Amino acid sequence: MKRPKYERGYAQRSASLLPGLCHSSIDVMNSSEFRRLWPVGRALFAGRVLVTFLFSLMAWSEAYAAGTGAGVVVPNSVTLEYSQSGLTRTTGATASFFVDELLDVSIVSSDASSIGVLAGETAAVQQYTLTNLGNGSEAFRLTVNDAVAGDDFDSSLNALYLETNGTVGLQVGPGGDDLYVAGTNDPILLSDDFLTVYVTADIPAGLMVDDVALLSLRAIGTTILAGAGTDDPALPAFPAVGTSFPALGDPASTGGGNVAAMVGISYDIATPLYLAQHDFLVNDVGLAITKTAFFVEDPLGGNAVLPGSVVSYRVSVNLVGGGAAQSLVVTDPLPVDVLYVPNSLSVVGLPAGEEADDDLVPAGVDNTGINGETVEVTFGDVTGPLSLTIEYQAIVQ
Amino acid sequence: MPISKGFPTLISSVSKFSGIVAGTVFVAAALAAPQASARVELVNEVHKVDRYVDDKGRVQRRLVEPNQVVPGDELRYSVRFTNTGDNNVDAGSVVITNPIPGNTEYLEGTAAGDAANILYSIDAGAQFGTPVSLRVEEDGSEAPANASDYTTIRWVYAPSLAPGATGTVSFNVRLK
C-alpha cells in the first residue's frame, strides 16, 4: 500500500530564482516590492508545506473507511433451538449476499495557497492527491482542464506526472516520476489507496501582476468509462449516482464472475468529488542574474588567462513577470586578482541621469561607475519583463 | 409419540440465482439438515432496505432483493419459523440466536419479534441480557453498552408453538 506523500518541490523553485551570482550581488534598496518577494516568500513556502501535511492527513483519515471490500460474501447464520415434550432440538439457516463494488473517488489540491508564477514561466507545478474512496480496485482516467472559466488568463497544460519514484516532489527525466498518458498508464488504486499527481502548466507572457489562472484536474474511474461509454460529466451519458453496471465490478470472492459496480455519491455532478481546481497567481517580479567572462585576450594574442590578459565580463539581469522592482542596484566587486580597465564599462538599460562612465559624479545624480574595485550600476525603478546588461573589462594581475 | 415425526428441518432462503447473474448473487446455504422429517422449519432471508422518494416527495423505505449492496446500505434479516409438525412445541422453548454478521453493525432498536423477549450479548454469546443490563468497561469506568457493541441477538419466544403456527423475528444492520 502506498504511503501518504506530502511533498512539493519548493527547493527547485527557489533554486531557479536564486542563481549562483559568482562575484556579483544584487541590491534592491528601499524596495518594498522586492523585499516582499524573498523573506516573506520563504516563510510562505515553509507554511505551505506544513499546511499541506495537515490537509492530506485529514483526507487520509476520512478516506480510511471505504468499507467492506467489493466481492466479499456476507453470510448470516441463525440457529433455532426448541423442545418438544422436553426433548431439545436445533436447526439453523444461512442467508448471504455479495458486496458490490462502490465507485467513489476523491481528488483534492494539495497546495494550500496559490501557486506563485511568473509570466512566461514554463512547467509551473500543481500537486493533487487522488484517493480511491470506493471499496474495490479501480483505475482512474485523469483529465486536465486548463481553460477553466472565470479567471484572468489560461495556463497551458504541459504534462501530468504520477508520483512513482518514491522521492518527495516532482522529478522529471530518467529515474523521475512517470509521465501520465491517458489510457496507457491510468493509475490503479486499491480501496483507500491514494496517489500524488502533478500537473505542470506553462504560463503565457504579457500578464499583469496578481492575474489568476484556474486549472482543474478530473479523475473518473475507468469502470464508468466502460459502463457508460464516457468519462465526461458534461455529457448526458455520464451516469447518475446509483447507476449499477452489472458484472463490471471486482471479482466475486466465490463462485467466479464479477460483482456489479455502482456509481457512488462522489460522482454527483452537482457536488463533484472527482474534480479539484487550483490557481496560478502571477507574482510581482522575478530577478535572474548571471555573470560570465565572455572573452579573454592574453598578451600574446591568444585566449589564455595569464597575467596581463584582458577579461571581458558580462552581467545579465533579467526581470521576469509583469511587476516592478524599485531602486534596483547591481554591485559587482571585482575578483581580487584583476583590475578594472578604465572606461570599459558599458550598460544597456540605464535610466536618465545615470552615465556609464567610471565616475560617480555628479554625486546623487550619477550613481553608476567604479567605486574602488567594485562596479556599481543603478537601474532605479524598473518594470518587467526586461533584460539589462552590464559589460566591462579587467586585467589579470 | 414417535420421535421420527419430531425432527426439525430447515429451509434456507430461496435463491433465484444459479451462479453469478447480473454481477450479484443472492446465495443461501443450509447449515445442516441431519434429520429427515420436519417439525420446525426455519427461513432466513435478507433484504436491502431501499430508500426512495415517492410521488409526494416523501422519502420512503421498502425492502428489495439484495442484488445491489454497497457499504453504507441498510439490510434487514428476517427469520420465519413454522411448526410443521403435528404437536405443540413447548412454551418458552423456542430460542433463536443470531450473531451479528461480520462486516455489519446492528442498528439500535431494530430487533423485533412478536411475543418474544429480546436479549443481546456483547461477548459473542457467552452471556445475554437486556440493553440496560449490558455494561462495558471504558477507560477504567463502566458505561452502558451501545448497539454497536452487540455481538449477538437472541429471541426467546414465549408461547408454545401449535402445529401450523408461525413466528417471525427480524433485525437490521448496516454494511460497514
Contact: A95, B19; criterion CB under 8 Å: no
Quote the number of domains for chain B: 1
pLDDT band at A287 (very low <50, low <70, confident <90, very high): confident
What are the chain B neighbours of A96 within 8 Å (beta carbons)?
26-29, 46
CA distance, residue A175 to nearest chain B CA (Å):
39
Say whether the ipTM exceeds 0.85.
Answer: no
What lies within 8 Å, CB to CB, of A395 at 6+ separation is: A308, A309, A310, A311, A338, A339, A341
Q: How confident is the model at residue B77 (pLDDT cuts 50, 70, 90)?
A: very high
The predicted structure's pLDDT at residue A108: 97
- Taking only the tens place, the pLDDT of each residue in A378-392 is 998 887 778 899 999
CB-CB neighbors (< 8 A) of B88 in chain A: 84
- Which of A 88-117 lie inside 8 A of B, CB atoms? 88-102
Considering only the beta carbons, identify the residue of B12, B66, B68 that sits closest to A93. B12
pLDDT of A237-250, one tens digit each? 999 999 999 999 99
Q: How far is CA A391 from the centre of its chain?
A: 36
* Amino acid letter, B14: V
pTM: 0.65
CB-CB under 8 Å, B70 with A100? yes
**What's the CA gap between A151 and A208, in Å, rounded?**
13
Cβ atoms within 10 Å of A369's Cβ, excluding its own? 19
B30 lies in which domain range? 3-175
**A253 at B interface, C-beta within 8 A:** no
pLDDT in tens, A151-179: 999 999 999 999 999 998 999 999 999 99
Q: How far apart (Å, rounded) are the C-alpha atoms in residues B131 and B145?
A: 7
Same fold, A101-282 and A286-396: yes
Which residues does chain A have within 8 Å of residue B175's beta carbon, measured at their own beta carbons?
A: 67-68, 74, 99
Mutate to test the interface with B, among A74, A81, A97 (most CBs of B within 10 A): A97
Residue A321's pLDDT is: 64
Grade residue A27 by pLDDT with cuts at 50, 70 and 90. very low
DSSP letters, A113-129, are S-EEE-TT--SEEEEEE
Which residues on adjacent β-strands are paired with residue A130?
Answer: A107, A195
Interface contacts (A, B; CB < 8 Å): 194
Q: Which residues in B lie closer than 8 A to residue A75 (C-beta atoms)?
A: 29, 101-102
- Show me where the domains of chain A are located: 101-282, 286-396
Report the DSSP pairing between strands A101-103 and A261-263: parallel
CATH number of the domain enclosing B131: 2.60.40
Mean pLDDT of A349-353: 88
Lowest mean pLDDT among A18-22, A184-188, A277-281, A373-377: A18-22
Closest alpha carbon to B45 in B171, B158, B152, B163: B171
In CATH, the number for domain A286-396 is 2.60.40.740
Give the architecture (CATH level 2) of A101-282.
Sandwich (2.60)
Cβ(A145)–Cβ(A170) below 8 Å = no
Question: Helices A10-17 & A39-63, crossing angle to 10 degrees?
Answer: 160
What is the reported pLDDT for A322? 60
Lowest mean pLDDT among A79-93, A193-207, A298-312, B19-33: B19-33
| 20-49 in chain A: CB under 8 A from chain B | none
- Asked if A46 contacts A149 with a C-beta cutoff of 8 angstroms, the reply is no
